[in-house]
Each structure stands twice: as C-alpha cells, then as structure tokens.
Structure 1
Amino acid sequence: MSVTSQPNSLFQLVDPNSVKPHPLYLSIYGELEDVSDVMRLIQNSQYPRPLLITIENTIVNGHPYWKAALLLGWNQIPVEVREFPNQEAELEALLLENADRKKTNEQKVREAIAWERIEKAKAKQRQQMAAATTNQKLGRRVEITLVENFPASSPGQTRDKVAKLVGLGSGRNYSKAKKVVTAIDKLRQQGNDKSALDLRKALNEQSVDAATKLIKAHPSQSAKQTDDQERSCWNCQFCSKEQVKDNHTFYCYKFGLLSFLEKDAQTRGEECLAWRYRWSDSDSCQSLPKNSYFTLTLPSHLQIMFEDAARASGMTLVDWTCHHLLQAAQSSKIPLEV
C-alpha cells in the first residue's frame, strides 16, 4: 500500500479529553502554543472542521482547535477517525497540515528531518515494488528478495528536496542547520539549558550561519561528550526496563508499549525526536521511575565478553545483562514477580 494512500474514515463526536496530541507534533512545534485567536474563532462560530485522529485517538491534524476546545471547557468536538497504513503516512498528513503555518528555523529543520524519514520509506517501497515486479517476470516466488538495480535518490538530492519543501533553501544550508539543532538537543540532554537556549536564539532570531559561528566560537564540552553516542531505545531516558507481556515489547514513558518486531531499538532511537540520553544530568529525567537493584556475582573472565556484547547492542552492561537474563527466565517459563 502506498505511503500516501487514503483509507476510509469515520466521523463522530468525542470528548476532547479522550484524545491526545501527537508526540511528533510536540517534538517539532513545541508544547507552548498561543491559541487565543483560535478560541475567539470557535467561540463566535461553529467548530471549523473535524479533528483528524488515528484509531488510537492520537491527533494528526487540528491540535490548536483541540487545545482551544479544552480551554473553553467543551465536552464534545467532531473528529474524523482514520486508520493509516503506516507511521510515515500518518506523519506526512501531520506535516502537510502544518505546511503553511509560520515556523522558526528550528521547526523547519525538525520538519525536514521528518520528511527525510518519509522519503526514505518511499524509496524503500519503490525498491520493493520493483523487485516484486522482476520476481514476477522471472517466475520467482514472491518471498524471494531480489535486489533491483533501481535508481535511488542520492543523499544530496534528498537534502535539496526536503530543504526546498520546508523553506530552508539549499541542502547545504539544511545540513548546517541540522547540525545546530543536533547540538541544541545534545546540550539539553546534558542539562545545559542555557547554552541550548542561546544557540536556539541565534538560529531562530538571527540566522543559520550565526548559530554555526556560535558553535565554532564556543564549543560546548558537554555537547561533545555524546557526539559518538549511538542512539538506541536501550540508552534512552524514557525506556523502561520493567517486564512486559513478551520479550519483543518494551514500555516507553513517552509513547507507551512499542514493539521491536516493527522497528529495532537503534532505528527507533535514530528516528525518535524525543530521544534523551539515559545518563544525562537533565532535570527531564528526575520524574521517571527509578529502578532498584540486587547484586549478582559472575565469574570475572566473563566481564570483557559481556561488556563487548553490551557495547555492540548499544546498551550498558547492566541493561544488557538484565535484558538477556529476563529472556532466559521467560523462555524457561519460570514465573517472575515484578
């Protein structure tokens, strides 16, 4: 099914408290949003149009109207419930809805990062379709994977395309701006909120070049500390190590239950705009549940082997050990108390 295909929709009235904002909307556009104009609009007229929500009651389009309805104390709002074929189609609908809004440079960059994810999914889909067509022509079974000599877009072409789409000019300008936004995120992950704010002001109130020069003039040691840190769910602040219903599902404090069958931990970490380094000093992790531990003594000759295995998985030794011991316990059907 195409990334942009449109499935059937269901229209109904719901309590605005029963729906929730899209996490990527908050990551791209922020939680602070002035909806006073929207409140006046819907006070003086009927609700302009239904919100677009997923079957999980997550808002895709219409966040300002939803927030205004909550502030006005409404108990019913119209919604369109749509089942999207995949996460990229859902994200594309969200981005298209906000295409004409006024945006900061940082918001444009975060949009471009999301568009890169969509373009990557579309390219993969085209390759799969081309391979399937070739398999059919050659009389091969459908499940046989054949790498097709398919002309894919180069990284430079993709950057130029998404930069133009969000209004950042050239792919080169987008690449520089993306490095600035990455630096902002790393500063926040390390708890250096003041430096992150200074860099954000330079990017949004001056220019991409001004922010780039600020990084060069005042390189932050805290930002450098995570330059080589692999992003993974396992080293994210929001990943819980609590036992869940099976060994391929985990609980995220941001997005709820997630499955590694859909996407592995490293891919999720690289694509997630809410990812935060687990061992940072940021205040954002202070409210997360704290784990308690007991001591487990293992032969010392296993230490190097286990450390290497944990490092290859993008996990700490403790997390890696807990993960595999839990898998072993579950496979032996030993009842666990949690």
Structure 2
Amino acid sequence: MVLKRRKKQTKIKILGAGREVGRSAIMIEHKDTRLLFDYGVAIGKEEPSFPLHVSPKSLDAVFLTHAHLDHSGALPFLYISEAKPLYTTVLTLEFSSILIRDFLKISKFYVPFEMIELENMVRHVKLVNYGESISIKDAEIEVIDAGHIPGSCMFKIRLDGLNILYTGDYNTTSPELFEEAFKRVKFISGWQMRKRAIKRPSIIISPAGMLKGGASVFYMEKIFDNPKNAVFFVSYLIEETPARRIIEEGIFSTRKGVGPVRARIEWFDFSSHISRKGLCDVINALPQHAKIILVHSSEDEGENFISSCIKNTGLKVYFPENGKELIFEK
C-alpha cells in the first residue's frame, strides 16, 4: 500500500472589496487557523454597505491595516458578543477610533453596532510595531510599514511554506513633502476656532474629504456660493458622494437645499496610494511562481489593469467577486 501525503490547503475568502472599491475584508483559513484581515464599510450616497458575514466565534484573530473606514468601519460588529484579539499599530488604533465614532454620529442610516461595541473592540486591541512577528497556531504574521498613512501596515503571513502578503493600501513614495508641510500646520479644535478661521484669508484642510460629514461640510456651506473662494479635492472620490457630485455636476446639497457651486473647484490626484506605474513595477519584480489576487478595484478598472499591466508577465492573477473562495495547495 502506498500512502500519498495529503496536500495542505489554504483558503482565501473574499468577504469584501471583490470587484469593487470599499468594505475590504479578507479571511485566510489554514488547517484550524482562521484569520481576518480588515473589515470595512462602503460609504456612498445610499445606505452604507458592509462585508459579507463572518462568525466572530470562528476566528482566531483580526488584523487591521489602517484607519480608513473602508478598511476599519465594520470592525465593532465583530465585538458584540466576542472578544477576539485585534492586531494593529497604535496610530491606527487612535485614528480608527475617531473615524468610527464620527461614522456613528453622522450616519443617517441604521448601523448594526453602537459605541459600546467600539469600546469593546478597543479593549481587545493588541498593539504591534513594524518588524514585529506574531505567532497564531500554524501562522506566523510579520508587520510591515505600508507607507500609506501614518500607522498603516501590511501583513506577511507564513503558513507551512506558503507566503501571503496582504498589502491593504500601500505606497512606495517618500513622505518628505508631507512631513515638511506638517511642520507649518496650525491645528483647529472646536467650533469657535472654526468660525474664526472661516472669517480670515486662509487655507483650511478638513475631513471628511467626500463631504459626507465632519467639519468639511461646515466650511463648504460657508464658502461654496462665493466665486472668490476655492475648493480643492484630493485623492479618490467615491461615486454618489457629495464631493463627487460637485466635481461632476457643480451641485452641492446643503441642509437648506441644493444649489450651484460658484467657488472655484479643482481636483488633484494627491493620492497616498501607490501609483499605477508603481503597481506595475512591483508586479514586474515578482518571481514567476507568484500569484496575484486583485481586490479593492472596480470591475472595469481591474480588467483594464490586468490587460495592460499583468497579462504579459505570465503571472497567475485572480480578480474574484465577493463571496469567492480561492484554494491553494502546498
């Protein structure tokens, strides 16, 4: 009798960000180890959408790459009745707590968790540093600087000889210009300082950049009707958000109604994400046995990127939909 050694399977399930931008959520399962990477929310014009359900009880640990809501916004939902460890950096913990609190305050729709779940999530955070490794059952997870925003990280997962790099959002350019500009910033705290800032000539940088809430809505309501003012949007603007409507239609919806924007409007691609050329350079440097799982991209953009940047490399690429489970054997 000849006994064949059973191949070890690793399953990667796409719970969010499959052929879409937003609500990133990826689960990796190997033997009896189950790890979840990010659990975000997609915020558009209509009700926010959440990733596919995963049983928190079945997880061994959760990992958060960075604070943006499309990666962090649904995490408290996992802490309604469970207490799984959440691994992230100290800056990501601080920023994500603020953003999720604001999300709960400004959301006009039902959100399946409350502040108590956010507080429970924070209590179960295990802080990690760049270069640190975490051992969880059969997995070894290394924390790598992602260069996206302060505190952002990637996770390199080692599973019985199989290496997986979950990048989240990342960037390979140097942040010197940002650091130099940061030294000249005057921070605003509270409504009195906001009211004073709006009365004098100034450059005001304010979240949320898509005008879904936060102080930016206050500033926009004050300046949008004056052609002497200007509004500069940076980075990607999600479809059907108020900011996207301004760029495409020149219309801004205020609490008093809908009106044309008379201020100068510009959009700049000052993204803290890696550029298309940078992505192609990274892909061209990969070994031939590497496999690529493309997520966090719209269907049209993803197909275009595959045909223009990956197809001729000979590398195996997957562009899965939400709910798709990929199986790799070693």
| Category of TM-score, reference length = shorter chain | under 0.3
**Higher relative contact order at CA 8 Å, sep ≥6: structure 1 or structure 2?**
2
Greater helix fraction, Structure 1 or Structure 2:
1
